[in-house]
Structure 1
Amino acid sequence: MGYTSISPNVLPLDRTLPYIPSILNMFAKSVILIVALLTAAAARLTKKQNTQSSGFNIPLSWNISGNTDGSTSVTDFNVINAVISGNSDSYTLNNIEDYLNALGFAEECFGFHRGNPFYANLNDGQGWFAQQFELRQNIGDNPFGTCLESLFGGNHLRGYQQKSTNAWFLPISKEKDVSDHHDIATNGYNSGRDAFANAAKGSVNYGGKCWPPATVAYEQLYPAYAGAGDTDDDQPYDGQVAIVTVDAPSNC
């Protein structure tokens, strides 16, 4: 019995050569795409590792919302622009309001608060939860200092603790006076954060405790917003978060 050899249908070389540049071009584009995807993934992993080493985990949202489900609108959209790192001294983290008092903040005027709470989701299993405190600038460091802030405007902040790291997330802003309904002042997100960070860089004291200058680093963890339609009261925000690491206080 004889066998017939069947040759594969091979395209002649002279007909193959014209396709080689296109094939190489497609291959090069595929390699570039793969490299870009791997680079982006590595950047995300690096940012996550960097923030974890900084003593906090990335929250579900850097926004705080006036709505319990976290939905935002221009009228209730504020930003978290400072973090007290979970790498800070445990006494400070457990007595955070004492440290904030040392930085020039205090409870609202005679403890009176007007307005609804804001909610944050720190990606730690707590879901969207209400602020744990709201403090105002203690102008003149006297019993009526926060009353003056309520009347004439100044810095104020809210506090939310991340359960998984003990870090404190602080939305800070400079606000206008009571006649302007405490709207965010011009450039108030950036200037409020910077005033807070500058205070933390100095030696401060409160209630018999003296804190050394904190370590402050800025990280670009948020998109930069031009302002109009992007944030509450249409104020710009540069997207930088002040990461503050506080050492143990001494008795003084």
Structure 2
Amino acid sequence: MFSNLLAGLLFGTLSVRGAALSVAFVNPALGGGSMLDLAAPPLGEPLNVIISGLSSPAVLTDAGVLNFAQAIGFSTECLGIHIGAPQSANLGDGNGSVNQTVELRQDFGNSALGTCLESLIGGNHFRVFRQNGPSANTGALFLAVSKEEDAEENHTIVPDGYDVGRNEFVASAVGTTSNNGVTYSTVAQNISGLLPVGTAGINHDIAIDGIVTLLTVTIQ
């Protein structure tokens, strides 16, 4: 109920097309988009974490989200190598379906080479999509977070991996973290009603609980 009310209110503020909005996010469905990305159409993976557009502006840039990710245990892919096609998402902002901005992986405490270990043994990872189109320019970052198997299992998602991945990501983010001289304070709020509950439309036929976690990240 909260999510439906919130999304309706936010979408109603769009009076200047293309102008930046001082809101947390806009529900993609209101602009013809979806809270599922296009992983294997018609199936998708849930955009189960949102970094609020009300976060510190520097967090919402490409460099900023990478630094924040490194502060909470994620980094760029092993040696910069990406295997597999990028996924896309329609965030209902007027841009249509757009490829992920970046994919980041758990680094096991080593931002330089730790993601090579994730690629080998599996772990948490997430894809970033930015809501910045002319009809919903919030700057919010929509994340598809999931925990995956090791290389021998072809990096398929672990059982309950969407919810588990989200929960582990949020647990690492909430509170005070820092990296490269930047200190972050992060608060979380769970929202129901944006995603379905169950397996309908979900890639790998893995059930989800329908919860999206909204993170507001403030630079101290």
Asked whether the two chains share a fold, i.e. TM above 0.5, the reply is: yes
Amino acid paired to 1:186: P
Please identify which structure carries the higher helix content: 1
Q: SS in structure 2 opposite 1:62?
A: coil
1:155-211, Cα deviation, whole Å (9 max, x unpaired): 000001100100000000000001001000011100100111111113111111111
Percent identity between matched residues is 36
Check whether the contact 1:134–1:158 (CA below 8 A) recurs between aligned residues. yes
Taking only aligned residues, the RMSD between alpha carbons, in angstroms, comes to 2.1
2:187 equivalent in structure 1: 215
Identify which of structures 1 and 2 has the higher relative contact order when contacts are C-alpha pairs closer than 8 Å and 6+ apart. Answer: 2
Unmatched runs of 5 consecutive residues or more in structure 2: 14-21
Aligned: 1:72 with 2:32 = no
Greater shift, 93-102 or 159-168, is seen at 93-102
1:36 equivalent in structure 2: none
For 1:65 and 1:181, the matched residues in 2 are separated by 19
Amino acid paired to 2:204: D
Check whether the contact 1:81–1:193 (CA below 8 A) recurs between aligned residues. yes
Check whether the contact 1:134–1:157 (CA below 8 A) recurs between aligned residues. yes
Matches within 5 A, 1:164-183: 164-183=137-156
2:8 equivalent in structure 1: 48
Give the Å deviation of 1:61: 0.3
Aligned: 1:57 with 2:26 = yes
For 2:113 and 2:158, the matched residues in 1 are separated by 22
How many residues end up aligned between the 2 structures?
199
Matches within 5 A, 1:32-181: 44-45=4-5, 47-49=7-9, 55-59=24-28, 60-66=33-39, 71-73=41-43, 77-94=44-61, 95-163=64-132, 164-181=137-154
Q: SS in structure 2 opposite 1:237?
A: coil
Aligned: 1:232 with 2:206 = no
Give the Å deviation of 1:44: 4.7
Amino acid paired to 1:199: S
Unmatched runs of 5 consecutive residues or more in structure 1: 1-39
1:25-80, Cα deviation, whole Å (9 max, x unpaired): xxxxxxxxxxxxxxx9xx9555422788861001110111146xxx413xxx2110
Q: Normalization by structure 2: what TM-score?
A: 0.84
Q: SS in structure 2 opposite 1:190?
A: helix
Amino acid paired to 1:178: A
Give the Å deviation of 1:247: 1.1
Greater shift, 233-242 or 170-179, is seen at 233-242
Q: Following superposition, which runs of at least 4 residues in structure 1 exceed 4 angstroms of deviation?
A: 43-47, 50-54
Matches within 5 A, 1:184-223: 184-212=157-185, 214-220=186-192, 221-223=194-196
Q: Normalization by structure 1: what TM-score?
A: 0.74
Q: SS in structure 2 opposite 1:86?
A: coil
Check whether the contact 2:7–2:26 (CA below 8 A) recurs between aligned residues. no
For 1:217 and 1:112, the matched residues in 2 are separated by 34
